[in-house]
Amino acid sequence: MNKITELSSYLELGSHVADIVEHTLTLPEPKLILPTGSTPLSLYKELVNRQLDWSTTTTYNLDEYVDNTIQDQSYRYFMMENLFKHTNMNDDNIYFPGDTAVWPDLSYGTEVDLCLLGIGGNGHIAFNEPGSSFDSETRMVDLTEETIKDNSRFFPTIDDVPTQAVTMGLKPIMSSKKIVLIANGKHKLNILNIAMNGEQTESVPASILQSHKNVEIYYCD
């Protein structure tokens, strides 16, 4: 059973996880996997305010839309606006899935020091939707109707939401040395409990985290 640590507020969630990231950045040439969405916004704001040294850090984002014609809704734009452009990150050390031919050749293994994750209402992590193989690699996927509906709040209309994405698979996610999953809102508590303390099944992709030796889960309502 995985303990879900409840924090008192969204700001505390961001501050607490920022402490974990700050410690990771003290490692030699740290490597991080980063999420997008509304949940990590307080975290990224806190990291920017701390003015940390990112000069030797390499980051890999979990996913990116395919054929997104609204550029300011791309995950690259999101990360640049909310984190990267406010730090001393080396642009050559910022990776998004589907960027170039080098992406599938990237070796994770024990290289990635910290993976930050959110969780979808159906238990997806990154864009690994229900039914994704626990051995899945980085690949192009079709988004479910539920995920498209969830993400429509970031677009002018639901018809503007891309229907495909490139996502990091569950296998490379699980190869990270440490995983921190964050969730915000009472509507996420039920799926958190199912994923962390229920049956381990590919119908709930996040349930794979039960098999990882170093997972921390933080939640606020």
| Residues annotated catalytic, as ranges | 63, 122, 124, 129
The CA distance from 82 to 93, in Å, is: 17
Residue 87 CA from chain centroid, whole number = 19
The residue among 216, 165, 205, 197 whose CA lies nearest residue 36 is: 165
Contacts with 78 (C-beta within 8 Å, 6 or more apart), sequence order: 36
b/e per residue 116-131 (b: at least 16 CB within 10 A): bbbbbebbbbbbbbbe
Tokens of 108: 């994770």
